[in-house]
Amino acid sequence: MEPGDLIVQRSKDGWAALKILAIDPGSDGTATAHCLMYESVPSKPTVESLQQTPVLAWHAPINAGSLSQGWERIGNGPLSDDELVGFVAYLKLTNFPRYVIFTGQDSKEIVRKANQHYKRAYALGDQGKRTEAIAEYSQAIELFPLFYEAIDNRAFTYMELGKIREALRDFEQSLQVNPNGVAAFFSKGECLMKLGDFKVAEAVFQEGQSRFPEQRAMFTKFLERVRAMQISG
């Protein structure tokens, strides 16, 4: 099995077909096949017919071992940029260094452009132009998804606009990139409290006491506050 392989299998609804985009060996001896998944068709596909078959999923990670039985290789074709769009997006979010190499970009140039947007966003925020600032932070994050400072600042700007759900989404995204971000973790709890999700907010503040001992007093203060809010209704 190699990139570009087209494999098919009879299913309940007809025939399933996949195109292998990449194969990653796993540290435990298993391998992951990154696949483009086509919509099911009533008759056995050919290499030519799949060119006209709608795509069901642009990227689906599948245990490569599961493809060794019941699947038939019908050919191999070059991978186009359009076919790789889902895999590239996956790499951008999960393995940025590999994304840079795969797409042939300059990582320093990406970071430079992202910083330009970040600085413009910060300046716009100082001017009270919050909507414009969010747009600039978004461009920085689009360029460099690991830019958790930009994610945090966009979240704080959403909070200033009263868009608490959007802010919560960003803080959760920031914590995926930087799990030790105390500001994002605390603010996640604050957003949950503002949204009335007191039980979950309580759990966040309680965890924060031990997870960030240097900020224990702050987490304790808000833990007591959210508990009081639950009692008062």
Averaged pLDDT, 81-95: 94
Alpha carbons 210 and 66: distance in angstroms, whole number: 42
Alpha carbons 99 and 88: distance in angstroms, whole number: 7
- Nearest CA among 133, 168, 169 for reference residue 150: 133
Report yes or no on whether pTM surpasses 0.85.
no
In whole angstroms, what separates CA 50 from the centre of its chain? 29
Mean pLDDT is highest, among 5-19, 166-180, 219-233, for 166-180
Residue 25 has pLDDT above 90, yes or no: no
Burial level of 158, CB count in 10 A (0-12/13-18/19+)? buried
Residue 27 has pLDDT above 80, yes or no: no
Q: How many residues does the chain have?
A: 233
Residue 141 has pLDDT above 90, yes or no: yes
Residue 64 has pLDDT above 70, yes or no: yes
Residue 26 has pLDDT above 80, yes or no: no
Burial level of 152, CB count in 10 A (0-12/13-18/19+)? buried
Residue 28 has pLDDT above 80, yes or no: no
pLDDT at position 147: 96
Task: Report CA Rg, the chain.
Answer: 23
Q: What is the pLDDT of residues 163-178, one digit of tens each?
A: 999 999 999 999 999 9
Whether 190 and 208 have beta carbons less than 8 Å apart is answered as no
User: What integer best gives the mean pLDDT of the chain?
Assistant: 94
Q: Which architecture, in CATH terms, is 106-179?
A: Alpha Horseshoe (1.25)
pLDDT at position 233: 66
In whole angstroms, what separates CA 186 from the centre of its chain? 21
DSSP 65: G
Domain ranges of the chain: 5-95, 106-179, 185-233
